[in-house]
Amino acid sequence: MAMVARTPCVGVLILVTLFGCGLINVADSLTIEQIGRRVPEPLWNQTRISLRRYSDASESLSGPIPRELGSLTNLTYLDLSNHNLSGPIPPELGNLTNLVFLALSENRLSGPIPPELGNLTNLTYLELAPNSLSGPIPPELGRPPAGRPNLPRSTSLLNTAFLLGRLTNLSQLILDNNNLSGPIPSELGSLVTKLYHLFLDNNNLSGPIPPELGNLTKLYNLYLSNNSLSGPIPPELGSLTNLNTLYLSNNSLSGPIPSELGNLTNVGYLYLSNNSLSGPIPPELGNLTKLYYLFLDNNNLSGPIPQWLGRLSSQGLRLSNNSLSGPIPPSLHTSGYKGSFYPGNLELCCNGCYIAPPARERTSGVVERLLKVATGMVRDGRIRKHWSTRLSGMTTMRRKRKRTSTSR
């Protein structure tokens, strides 16, 4: 009983000693004292610290995360989300090897992600978004321990238990809405056992999408949008047959849409808009019978619109600002789909239906093609003069019609 009675005093004595010796500064002292007041004593014997703030009325933690938290080695759960914590993530948190859950989201943390977090081999949940973290994603999060090679792309998953990465229990990796830069580490492809959600969107990541991500066959959500990723979409992503959502929008991806994406038979949301993708819409995407949303707008896609797209609602289909051509399938002959195709796609036609590009766009498309003929393809000066006269006359007629309609 005497031991229990002295425990709070010992905690206070440790804090006073650390402060008096200059081992922690004022901001650190304030933060760790606040943490100590919000959990049952003794603090150093805790297994769970859950201080997520759910309302603005509650008291907010501020200042840097104290390095001393790294000495609470009994911790299995640490949640300091939705506060005003600032400064870097202490590398000392890598000492918490019993940690299963780590959430530092919705703060003002800055600096790099410590590679020491790769030591948390029992971790199932890692959330660091949104913050202002910068620098690369540490490859240590997926790199196998020393002496074990990375997972090769061609290796069968049934025989790779010895090749798995460090965070083999990780099911959710949430790093979106930061300022992370550099490439996506191919080592993340080693987290093959349980990774269910991978959120890397809204950062400054660059370079290609690693084909090794195709090894993550348990993935349900893959968010890579709003970065600066470039190069082709790896066909290996077609191996993610459990995937429900694939977000690749707002990058600089190029090349064709891989036909292998037709293997994603459980996908409901496929977002590839605002890239530089080219070529036709693969007919294999018709295998995606659970698809609700297909956004392919603002690319360089060409060729016809597949018949099977009629399965999608007008809200779930976006094909505008491409170079698609040919007839619009009868299943899409309703005015509700008009916004799915235009603007852009000037070579589409729709006889006997309610969809047509705006008159101004149709006329400007004709003028644009005539100008191309007059200036680029026709070399004879008299023919150029002839076409220029016709174009000038068309423009004058358009203006007269506009003035006449206005006066009426």
What's the topology of domain 42-151+161-357?
3.80.10
CA distance 275 to 299: 5
pLDDT at 362: 45
pLDDT at 358: 55
pLDDT at 18: 40
pLDDT (tens digit, 0 to 9) for every residue of the chain, 408 residues total?
Answer: 333 333 333 443 343 344 334 333 333 434 677 787 888 768 878 899 998 888 765 678 889 999 999 999 999 999 999 999 999 999 999 999 999 999 999 999 999 999 999 999 999 999 999 999 999 999 999 876 554 444 444 333 333 333 334 788 999 999 999 999 999 999 999 998 899 999 999 999 999 999 999 999 999 999 999 999 999 999 999 999 999 999 999 999 999 999 999 999 999 999 999 999 999 999 999 999 999 999 999 999 999 999 998 888 778 999 999 999 999 888 887 767 777 888 999 998 877 665 655 554 444 444 444 444 444 444 444 334 443 444 445 444 444 444 444 444
Neighbours of 260 (CB within 10 A): 18
66 closest CA partner among 116, 110, 29: 29
**Phi then psi dihedrals of residue 218, to 5 deg:** -90, -5
pLDDT at 391: 42
